[in-house]
Structure 1
């Protein structure tokens, strides 16, 4: 018996593939749970690295979800202004046990009005924009505020999902899933946070985000004034 019978991922074009597939690998191993890949229309959804994901249900036919997860990616700019996406998210959030995001997916939650007064995190490069949606920024890999869970950038989705499993089902299942996935990171370099990066590396990565950041802020300005 599970208290998370229906788990759904909100998909949109140009999502970050690992934002979605990281937590999917964890949450799909919950006994008795059904995972729904939800988009405006059934069929292929483009990721930011080439492959397509097949959405298996659309907004109209999605059952009430116990947990909804919103990944991030370059496509958030369009999703944040899509009324059908935001309406679906609001409807599902009203009946869900857990409303969650990974990386910049937090801003889709924000655009739907679901982060007002809520402690949250997101990718480090976008963290400063959280207050624009009424969120209270917290520098952490996973942040919980009531029924809302937010994960930091990309790989934090795995930690977020294991946090959910431990919350609902206890330490044993979380450990079993972690071991099954052999999630025991020992990266060959140690620069996974801006606090660990040299000024040169930080500047190089920041410059990669700069064009996308400007486009993102134009959307935020339209949404928040």
Structure 2
């Protein structure tokens, strides 16, 4: 991706919807909104406040139909993603914006929304651990990495990985020094107190407990993914035997 000219104002827009995970949106927003000569806005299907998976109230700046052509389209994930997987109003907007955007940044299960819109076909991609095995239903090649770049598509895995994806995209848009200045300004230097952030490092009992929490939602997502695959004309089996790790929030018993 060529660097954007410094005097070119970047228009960055994030999809906002009921039941998203706010960090999927606000983490990248924190990074991208600090880029010079940039406008960041949120777009939704309603201007009424919506709640994220843990109850935080957020409101869109504008309706999706009123959005200009965006330079960067950010698609967050969260449990509410399921309700939009077959919502043609949202899917057609994603397709239209992606067609003219410089980059699309999906975070967590936002990749499934991109997939439902047909944006993952023939692409390498990643998503949240509990949905990673579903990517082939959308014609994508699953890649077990924190951030995957394939052309104009920047996909990041679960929740906090969106910050990494946004920093990488920031470097592509305005240069590595600009991204490094932002990283320093927000003091993004993770030193987690536990080495349990992936299924490869989490204790076995913790992994089992979190898998149990997300099991029902994972089954529902696969059913939806199969319907979407049929609509897209994609013939695919899920990759592996199920979720590859355990990164959805175990505090949310609604899974």
TM-score by length of 1: 0.97
Which residue in 1 is equivalent to 2:167? Answer: 162
Checking the alignment, whether the CA contact within 8 Å between 1:142 and 1:149 is kept in structure 2 is yes
Which residue in 2 is equivalent to 1:218? Answer: 223
Checking the alignment, whether the CA contact within 8 Å between 1:130 and 1:137 is kept in structure 2 is yes
- Post-superposition shift, 1:2? 5.1
Residue 113 of structure 2 corresponds to residue 105 of structure 1:
no
Which residue in 2 is equivalent to 1:114? Answer: 119
- Unaligned residue ranges in structure 2 (runs of 5+): 1-5, 231-255
Which residue in 1 is equivalent to 2:26? Answer: 21
Flag the 1:2–1:155 CA change in 2: closer, same or farther, 3 A.
Answer: farther
Which residue in 1 is equivalent to 2:148? Answer: 143
CA RMSD of aligned residues (A): 1.1
The one of 182, 194, 213 equivalent to 1:189 is 194
Q: What CA deviation, in whole Å up to 9, does each residue of 1:52-110 have, x standing for no partner?
A: 11100112210100000100000111111111000100110111010120000000000
Moved over 3 A (4+): none
Task: Tell me the matched-pair count.
Answer: 225
> In structure 2, the residue corresponding to 1:166 is in which secondary structure?
helix
Checking the alignment, whether the CA contact within 8 Å between 1:43 and 1:56 is kept in structure 2 is no
**Superposition pairs of residues 1-225 of structure 1, within 5 angstroms:** 1=6, 3=8, 5-225=10-230
Flag the 1:28–1:2 CA change in 2: closer, same or farther, 3 A.
Answer: farther
Checking the alignment, whether the CA contact within 8 Å between 2:137 and 2:228 is kept in structure 1 is no
Flag the 1:36–1:202 CA change in 2: closer, same or farther, 3 A.
Answer: same
- Post-superposition shift, 1:198? 2.3
Q: What CA deviation, in whole Å up to 9, does each residue of 1:166-204 have, x standing for no partner?
A: 112111111110011011111110110111122211111
Checking the alignment, whether the CA contact within 8 Å between 1:44 and 1:55 is kept in structure 2 is yes
- Post-superposition shift, 1:3? 4.7
- Unaligned residue ranges in structure 1 (runs of 5+): none
Q: More displaced, 195-204 or 102-111? A: 195-204
TM-score by length of 2: 0.86
Checking the alignment, whether the CA contact within 8 Å between 1:97 and 1:147 is kept in structure 2 is yes
